[in-house]
């Protein structure tokens, strides 16, 4: 499937310099008029920040947590805009949120990760957005499902939403790491590949979960050619009513932005171009050799399946599998390849081999 979206460039995202990413910054939640205004004043002083984010209705994991200030927060955002010129971005999860945001002149809407995971919710939001020209940013779903993410974009687009972008915020971590959400970068890269004109932002705050990791994720996103960042910033993070550990003060955010290294997507330098071309040629040739060898390996797996079938021997041979893993790990390790990578690679190869043998041994007419 090669999906197509009928989208327009996000004109509102024009930034001052050609290489500077778009930065949306602001508190996880609007809490008080004072908190929002003082945060916005400080952020508006930072070069490159033109859009303020603020959660007005908060999707909380457990009840009895702070669930947002609601409509009054939209009025504070209007005040912010009048005073600082900052545009506003707000999360919507229900048609009523859309209606209130439109009524209060909110500039950009975003759809949160939990909503993207639910096609019913997306369909309702899409209906509420019918005939309305407002930029909508769609966060990836909490589970690592690119199709679901694409489905949300398609539903919105079918409803006439033309100015769209996405925000990558990582996925629920089934394995424990130092991060709050796992940055399965391949999900965002797949979206970039399928929709080359779509604005793709990264939300390093919700990936990091702790303020000390926000920089490394932001830099990684810039290195991967993301068009911009959405970063949580609060005038006094220690007192924040949601996501206190991951919010930066405006001053810290300024420092973070100054320390980011920007690289160009490409270079016209002839030496760079020719070295890159040569390396790519070699990589192409290696990739095809890898595939050729994998094809031969699977051919041998087929032969083995036939011997096993004739001798009525089980498919899975645990000792052999253990030996494969150990010897390949040692061999790869000596060539500087990370253990986790080798393990994952051979698990995939082994899974495919088992699958192939199962099919061959259970083929009708192959009864033993
Ligand atoms: C947020 O941006 O504050 C938020 C709730 O994010 P997410 O939907 O990515 O969890
Ligand atoms: Mn948050």
Query: Domain with 279 in it: what CATH number?
Result: 1.20.59.10
**Tens of pLDDT, residue by residue, the chain (368 residues):** 568 898 887 755 544 444 578 999 999 999 999 999 999 999 999 999 999 999 999 988 899 899 999 999 999 999 999 999 999 999 999 999 999 999 999 999 999 999 999 999 999 999 999 999 999 999 999 999 999 999 999 999 999 999 999 999 999 998 788 999 999 999 999 999 999 889 999 999 999 999 999 999 999 999 999 999 999 999 999 999 999 999 999 999 999 999 999 877 788 888 888 898 899 999 999 999 999 999 999 999 999 999 988 898 888 888 999 999 999 999 999 999 999 999 999 999 999 999 999 998 888 765 54
**Nearest ligand 1 atom to alpha carbon 203:** 9
CA–centroid distance, residue 242 to ligand 2 (Å): 6
28 pocket-lining for ligand 1 (C-beta < 6 Å): yes
Domain-located, residue 4? no
Q: Which residues of 161-182 are buried (b: 16+ CB within 10 A; e: fewer)?
A: bbbbbbbbbbbebeeeeebbbb
**Nearest ligand 1 atom to alpha carbon 167:** 9
CA–centroid distance, residue 60 to ligand 1 (Å): 9
**Confidence (pLDDT) at 18:** 47
139 pocket-lining for ligand 1 (C-beta < 6 Å): yes
Question: Are 103 and 52 within one domain?
Answer: yes
Question: Are 174 and 29 within one domain?
Answer: yes
- The neighbourhood of ligand 2, an ion, using CB within 5 A, equals 28, 243
**Confidence (pLDDT) at 12:** 54
Question: Are 234 and 307 within one domain?
Answer: no
Q: Which residue has the least CA distance to atom 9 on ligand 1?
A: 113
Q: How many domains does the chain have?
A: 2
Q: Read off the CATH number of the domain in which 184 is found.
A: 3.20.20.70
Give the span between the Cα atoms of 298 and 353, in whole angstroms: 7
CA–centroid distance, residue 43 to ligand 1 (Å): 20
Q: Is 326 exposed, middle or buried (0-12, 13-18, 19+ CB in 10 A)?
A: exposed
Task: Please tell me the number of the ligand nearest to residue 230's CA.
Answer: 1
Structure pTM? Answer: 0.82
Residue range of the domain that includes 343? 270-361
Nearest CA among 103, 82, 84, 83 for reference residue 92: 103
For 227, list phi and psi in degrees, rounded to 5.
-85, -15
Question: Are 110 and 178 within one domain?
Answer: yes
């Amino acid at each position: 499937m090669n999906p197509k979206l009928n989208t327009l460039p996000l004109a509102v995202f024009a930034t001052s310099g050609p290489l500077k990413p778009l930065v949306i910054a602001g508190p996880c939640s609007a809490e008080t008029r004072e908190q929002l205004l003082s945060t916005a004043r400080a952020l508006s002083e930072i070069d490159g920040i033109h859009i303020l984010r603020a959660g007005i209705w908060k999707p909380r994991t457990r009840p009895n947590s702070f669930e947002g200030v609601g409509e009054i927060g939209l009025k504070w955002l209007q005040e912010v805009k009048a005073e600082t010129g900052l545009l506003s971005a707000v999360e919507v999860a229900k048609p009523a949120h859309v209606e209130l945001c439109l009524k209060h002149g909110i500039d950009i809407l975003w759809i949160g990760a939990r909503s993207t995971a639910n096609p019913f919710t997306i369909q309702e939001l899409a209906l509420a957005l019918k005939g309305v020209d407002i930029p909508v940013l769609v966060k990836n779903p909490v589970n690592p499902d690119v199709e679901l993410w694409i489905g949300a974009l398609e539903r919105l687009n079918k409803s006439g939403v033309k100015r769209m972008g996405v925000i990558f915020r990582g996925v629920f971590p089934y394995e424990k790491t130092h991060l709050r959400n796992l940055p399965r970068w391949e999900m965002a890269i797949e979206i970039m590949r399928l929709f080359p004109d779509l604005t793709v932002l990264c939300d390093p705050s919700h990936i990091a979960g702790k303020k000390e990791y926000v920089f490394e994720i932001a830099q990684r996103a810039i290195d991967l050619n993301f068009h911009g960042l959405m970063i949580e910033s609060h005038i006094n993070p220690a007192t924040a009513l949601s996501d206190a550990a991951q919010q930066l003060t405006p001053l810290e955010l300024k420092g973070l932005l100054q320390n980011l290294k920007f690289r160009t997507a490409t270079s016209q330098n002839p030496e760079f171009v020719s070295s890159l071309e040569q390396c790519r040629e070699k990589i192409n040739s290696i990739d095809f050799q890898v595939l050729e060898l994998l094809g031969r390996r699977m051919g041998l797996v087929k032969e083995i399946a036939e011997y096993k079938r004739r001798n009525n021997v089980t498919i899975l041979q645990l000792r052999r599998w253990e030996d494969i893993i150990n010897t390949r790990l040692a061999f790869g390790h000596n060539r500087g390849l990370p253990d986790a990578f080798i393990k994952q690679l051979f698990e995939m190869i082994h899974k495919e081999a088992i699958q192939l043998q199962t099919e061959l041994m259970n083929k009708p007419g192959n009864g033993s």
